[in-house]
């Protein structure tokens, strides 16, 4: 803990706290956790104009000091100085949305009454102006008794003014309202907020209501729903078609790197290890970076534009059928990128059973780590044919895999709601933010962070698992005429697993990949790549064939399809299990989750295999 003055950003959700936080602290941010609770602590540093350093925390948004979710509880406790691991802030910056003053001022009044030194940031004045609303910050300041600064967080407007005001406040003086001791009641605060908001309006022309006009289309019961489906469909098509060129480029680099190693190192164990264990394995995963970034691009865009809340609205009726609320749609859609942030996003769901059900089905949403697996199998076994204008067969199959995950999740939710998470559903109440054009910088930063996380995974967990696998698969050396992948230690372990999965059509290659890919799903691809590289040995022809071509020679279509079906359901990801344990405070639910998902995966792969064999694809 530092001895710097601590300033907390507080306010309603969507007031622009995080935007202001980013604008003030830039890259100097640190993510952490509050002890005992799973709420993220987001802190950063910035300097006042005289160079004095300040620590700033971005608190979760809340509508009042009456918490309805674990996130909101933390905000309350920090402000009251009751939160473990946080000192009482030296000052508050209350962020209010200028275009929704009535509502935000009520909470601001509640906060000001606490008696901490306070500054109000009258944020989003640009949007208020767009809506035909002109406000006088001086009147507001007089009425509230604390300094009020107009800001546009995303354009960094008003920040200098905010800094200098903070400076004089910390030097003593302005901004503190003597607490009256009595906590004003809700009604009283509301009326007072209204009165002040009215007084501060200089001019109000009927707003142009761009958001309402767009909503007429996007929230239309039929058109809106079709647009949502179309958006998701385009997203999955794009993952394949846009990624082709950059993926080829990456593939070229990986191959070139391998050739350099062959050219510079003498043949032997080191050479084989680097070529087969490192380049062969990790390289096979890294080439999927473009696809993963395209997927994240869509999800970041949907969030930043304000569309995500609309998707929740459209989905609520359907989600209600299986005992969930539309709110669950947001963490579930994020889980398409990765279940870990998706499961963490369930914290905004206040009903505990709604939340638990959402956590349990989140791994069924097809996360980006499955893309390398799907991508490899689809590219190898599904012809790149067009089945209609703008619809490729490969993209269609990918779409169907996603749909299977969604349908599976809905059925699972329904069953869970009737059994282990039985009870009254929590309902759906949510604010719909205004539409916004996302700022390219924000999207770029988001993509950059994702790329770094993915490459770190490739460089750590995937690399490590792969090295272990390479060792186990390389020794002991097979005598001539026997396949190395069957003779080695790994091959013998795989032989045992094979007995279990043979009925659902899995061959020995798959059996070998299943165990290491418990660490992370992508490892399935790198593991298969490594094993084939070892089997190929110094055989030039075999080495020159792509992984896909080698698969075609060794797997039947029925096996490939069963493998895909397995990955729709199987809970193969250590990080997901760990985050579930953290969010549910124990091992009970992560164990339950693994159990039911493995059963589903086995059944799905089996049914797919037997159906495909019956259809003559075996």
Partner 1 sequence: MRLTDLPLRQPAYVDLIDWNALSASDGQRLREFGLCEGASVEALHHGGLLGRGPIACKVGRMTVAMRRSHAAAITVRTGPQEEDA
Q: Rule CB under 6 A: choose which of 54, 91, 154, 527 binds ligand GDP.
A: 154
Structure token pair of residue 609: 């295999």
Classify residue 424 by burial, with Cβ atoms within 10 Å: 0-12, 13-18, 19+.
Answer: exposed
Give yes or no for residue 15 binding ligand GDP (CB under 6 A). yes
Which region among 16-24, 136-144, 162-170, 353-361 touches Mg ion (by CB under 5 A)? 16-24
Rounded alpha-carbon distances, angstroms, from residue 345 to 228, 428, 583? 21, 16, 10
Stretch that binds ligand GDP, among 10-18, 177-185, 345-353, 521-529 (CB under 6 A): 10-18
Q: Which of 139, 177, 301, 304 binds ligand GDP (CB under 6 A)?
A: 304
**ω before 476 within 30° of 0 (cis)?**
yes
Examine residue 127 and tell whether it contacts ligand GDP (CB under 6 A): yes
Secondary structure (DSSP) of 36-74: TS-PEEEEEEEE-TT--EEEEEEPPP-SSSS--SHHHHH
206 in contact with partner 1 (CB under 8 A): no
Nearer to partner 1, 123 or 474 (CB): 123
Q: Which of the listed partners (Mg ion, partner 1, ligand GDP, none) does 127 bind, with a CB threshold of 5 to 8 Å by partner kind?
A: ligand GDP
Name residue 7's beta-bridge partners.
56, 91
Task: For residue 184, count other CB atoms closer than 10 A to its CB.
Answer: 14
Q: CA 618, CA 558: separation in Å to the nearest integer?
A: 5
Residues 597 and 569 sit within 8 Å (Cβ to Cβ): yes
Could you say which of 5, 18, 435, 575 contacts ligand GDP (CB under 6 A)? 18
Q: Is residue 317 near partner 1 by the rule CB under 8 A?
A: yes
* Range 44-73, binding ligand GDP (CB under 6 A): 61
> For Mg ion, which residue of 18, 129, 546, 575 counts as binding (CB under 5 A)?
18
- Report the Cα–Cα distance between both ends of the chain, in Å, rounded: 63
Binding segment for partner 1 (CB under 8 A), chosen from 95-103, 134-142, 383-391, 458-466, is: 95-103
Examine residue 185 and tell whether it contacts partner 1 (CB under 8 A): no
Distance CA 393, CA 382 (A): 7
Among 8, 10, 17, 529, binds ligand GDP (CB under 6 A): 17
68 binds, among Mg ion, ligand GDP, partner 1, none (CB under 5 to 8 A by kind): partner 1
Q: Report the distance separating Cα 56 and Cα 89, nearest Å.
A: 9
Nearest-angstrom CA–CA distance, 144 and 147: 8
The CA distance from 281 to 440, in Å, is 34
The rounded distance, in Å, linking the Cα atoms of 450 and 273 is 29
Q: Is 29 in the site for Mg ion (CB under 5 A)?
A: no
Binding segment toward Mg ion, per CB under 5 A, in 17-25, 71-79, 315-323, 468-476: 17-25
Q: What is the smallest separation between the CB atom of 30 and ligand GDP, expressed in angstroms?
A: 17
Least distance from C-beta 146 to Mg ion, angstroms? Answer: 22
Question: Residues 118, 175: contact at Cβ < 8 Å?
Answer: yes
Of 331 and 363, the one with the shorter C-beta distance to partner 1 is: 331
Taking the complex as a whole, the smallest distance from the CB of residue 301 to ligand GDP amounts, in Å, to 11
| Contact status, residue 119 vs residue 68, Cβ threshold 8 Å | no
Is residue 556 a contact point for Mg ion (CB under 5 A)? no
Residues that bind partner 1 (CB under 8 A): 63-64, 66, 68, 99-103, 106-107, 131, 186-187, 190-191, 211-212, 215-216, 219-222, 225, 309, 312-314, 316-318, 320, 326, 350, 427-432
Residues that bind ligand GDP (CB under 6 A): 11, 13-19, 61, 123-124, 126-127, 152-154, 304, 436
């Amino acid at each position: 803990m530092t001895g710097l003055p601590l300033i907390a950003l507080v306010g309603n959700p969507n007031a622009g706290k995080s935007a202001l936080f980013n604008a003030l602290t830039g890259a100097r941010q640190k993510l952490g956790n509050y002890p005992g609770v799973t709420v993220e602590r987001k802190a950063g540093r910035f300097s006042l104009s005289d160079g004095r350093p300040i620590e700033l925390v971005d608190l979760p948004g809340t509508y009042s000091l009456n918490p309805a979710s674990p996130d909101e509880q933390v905000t309350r406790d920090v402000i009251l100085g009751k939160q473990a691991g946080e000192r009482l802030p030296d000052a508050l910056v209350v962020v209010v949305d200028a275009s929704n003053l009535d509502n935000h001022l009520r909470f601001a009044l509640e906060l000001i009454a606490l008696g901490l030194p306070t500054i109000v940031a009258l944020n989003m004045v640009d949007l208020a102006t767009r809506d035909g609303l002109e406000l006088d910050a001086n009147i507001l300041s007089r009425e509230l008794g604390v300094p009020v600064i107009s800001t546009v967080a995303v354009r960094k407007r008003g920040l200098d003014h905010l800094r200098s005001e903070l400076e004089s406040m910390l030097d003593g003086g302005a901004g503190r309202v003597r607490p009256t001791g009595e906590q004003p009641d809700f009604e009283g605060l509301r009326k007072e907020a209204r009165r002040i908001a009215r007084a501060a309006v200089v001019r109000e022309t009927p707003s142009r209501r761009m958001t309402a006009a767009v909503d007429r289309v996007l929230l239309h019961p039929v058109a809106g729903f079709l647009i949502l489906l179309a958006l998701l469909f385009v997203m999955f098509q794009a993952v394949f078609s846009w990624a082709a060129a950059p993926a080829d480029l990456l593939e070229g680099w990986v191959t070139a790197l391998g050739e350099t190693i062959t050219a510079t190192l003498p043949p032997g164990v080191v050479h084989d290890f680097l070529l087969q264990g490192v380049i062969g394995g990790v390289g096979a995963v890294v080439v999927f970076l473009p696809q993963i970034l395209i997927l994240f691009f869509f999800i970041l865009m949907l969030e930043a534009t304000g569309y995500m809340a609309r998707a929740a609205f459209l989905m609520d009726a359907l989600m209600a059928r299986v005992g969930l609320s539309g709110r669950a749609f947001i963490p579930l859609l994020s889980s398409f990128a990765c279940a870990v942030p998706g499961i963490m996003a369930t914290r905004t769901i206040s009903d505990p059973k709604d939340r638990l059900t959402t956590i349990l089905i989140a791994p069924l949403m097809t996360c980006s780590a499955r893309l390398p697996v799907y991508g490899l199998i689809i590219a190898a076994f599904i012809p790149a044919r067009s089945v209609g204008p703008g619809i490729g067969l490969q993209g269609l199959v990918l779409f169907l895999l996603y749909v299977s995950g969604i349908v599976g999740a809905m059925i699972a939710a329904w069953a869970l709601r009737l059994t282990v998470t039985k009870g009254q559903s929590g309902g759906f109440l949510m604010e719909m933010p205004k539409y916004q054009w996302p700022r390219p910088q924000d999207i770029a930063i988001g993509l950059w962070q994702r790329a770094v996380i993915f490459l770190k995974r490739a460089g750590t967990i995937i690399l490590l698992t792969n090295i272990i696998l390479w060792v186990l698969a390389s020794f002991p050396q097979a005598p001539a005429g026997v396949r190395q992948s069957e003779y080695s230690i790994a091959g013998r372990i795989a032989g045992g697993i094979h007995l279990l999965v043979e009925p659902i059509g899995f061959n020995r290659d798959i059996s070998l990949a299943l165990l290491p890919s418990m660490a992370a799903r992508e490892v399935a691809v790198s593991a298969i790549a490594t094993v084939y590289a070892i089997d190929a040995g110094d055989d030039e022809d075999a080495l020159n064939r792509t992984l896909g071509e080698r698969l075609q020679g060794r797997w039947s279509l029925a096996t490939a399809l069963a493998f895909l079906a397995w990955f729709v359901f199987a809970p193969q990801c250590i990080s997901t299990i760990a985050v579930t344990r953290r969010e549910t405070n124990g091992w009970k639910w992560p164990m339950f989750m693994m159990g039911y998902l493995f059963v589903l995966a086995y059944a799905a792969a089996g049914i797919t295999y037997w159906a495909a064999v019956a259809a003559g694809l075996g």
